[in-house]
Amino acid sequence: MRVLLLSDIHSNLEGLDACLGVAPSCDKVVNLGDIVGYGASPNEVTERSRKLGGLFVRGNHDKACTGVMGVESFNPVAGLAALWTKQTLNPDHLEFLKNLPKGPLPLDGLPDVQLVHGSPLDEDQYVIVLQDAVEPLMRTTVPLTFFGHTHIQCVFSVKENKLELMRPMYRSKDGTDTYEVKLDRGVRYLVNPGSVGQPRDGDKRAGFAVFDTESYLFTFHRVPYNIKGAQERIVAAKLPDRLATRLNDGR
């Protein structure tokens, strides 16, 4: 079975469309949360995500944009975008996002895989550096965890108490690109497919991934998208300028 992994779309319709345009045909879709927040197309992106179906876990922005949690922990720009999103979402999409399940969730039929937004221990935890991954890797019993939240494509692993962090190395900085990682069944992993709508690893291209459950091949993808279009929508919606400019920096 081939699984399409999408995360942190953040209301970026142009980014999502570009990813779906190049993604190979998959048997299942997994969405690791933060469907909305930051970007200017919350209704369109929620609509597309619901049509794609599959499995969803909620992200902190999905919670903040639907009133499941307050925006007190957000910086002012993120908080403003969350409030704008709440006002802009149509009631049906708002209800859908409000009811997204909390991770970890199993990937049906695959006891070796679990889905989370932040970490298996805390849905809002950021796992960025090796140190952050120690506890989640040591304390979870599920070998393979797919997570989002940091907007950075990476593979954390632990084998015989040796911890490692690997990031995809692409051939180019523009154009469509892939990077394959063959996962090992005897190793415990935390793997992040990256962010569709607001990458933060200095690469402005939209990110997603595909996992083959038979071969255990994990393929990271990057795809250029209409950044200008996404930026223009943000400006037209009178959302903070920073949300538009950061898309071009990949930060």
Which residues bind to Zn ion, rule: CB under 5 A?
8, 34
User: 3-state DSSP call for residue 209?
Assistant: strand
Tell me, what amino acid is at 95? Answer: E
Structural tokens at position 201: 């690893």
**Closest approach of Zn ion to the CB of residue 59, in Å:** 6
Task: Provide, rounded to whole angstroms, the least separation between the CB of residue 217 and Zn ion.
Answer: 26
Torsion of CA 207, 42, 31, 5, to 10 degrees: -20
Handedness of CA 75, 60, 223, 132 (dihedral sign): positive
Alpha-carbon torsion angle 86, 21, 230, 58, nearest 10: 30
Q: How far apart, in whole angstroms, are the C-alpha atoms of residue 56 and residue 54?
A: 7
CA–CA gap between residue 228 and residue 171 (Å, rounded) = 24
Beta carbon nearer to Zn ion, 86 or 188: 86
Closest contact distance (angstroms) between CB of 192 and Zn ion is: 11
Strands 28-31, 154-159: parallel, antiparallel or unpaired by DSSP? unpaired
- Measured from the CB atom, is 65 or 210 closer to Zn ion? 65
Report the residue number, 120 or 212, with the smaller CB distance to Zn ion. 120
Is the Cβ of residue 8 or residue 17 nearer to Zn ion in the bound state? 8
Least Cβ distance, residue 65 to Zn ion (angstroms) = 11
Which one, 34 or 203, has the nearer CB to Zn ion? Answer: 34
Least separation in angstroms between residue 164's CB and Zn ion is 24
Closest chain position to Zn ion (CB): 34
- Compute the least distance from the CB of residue 39 to Zn ion, in Å: 11
Instruction: Identify which of residues 8 and 132 has a Cβ nearer to Zn ion in the complex.
Output: 8
Q: Give the burial string for 212-223 (b: 16+ CB within 10 Å, else e).
A: bbeeeebbbbbb
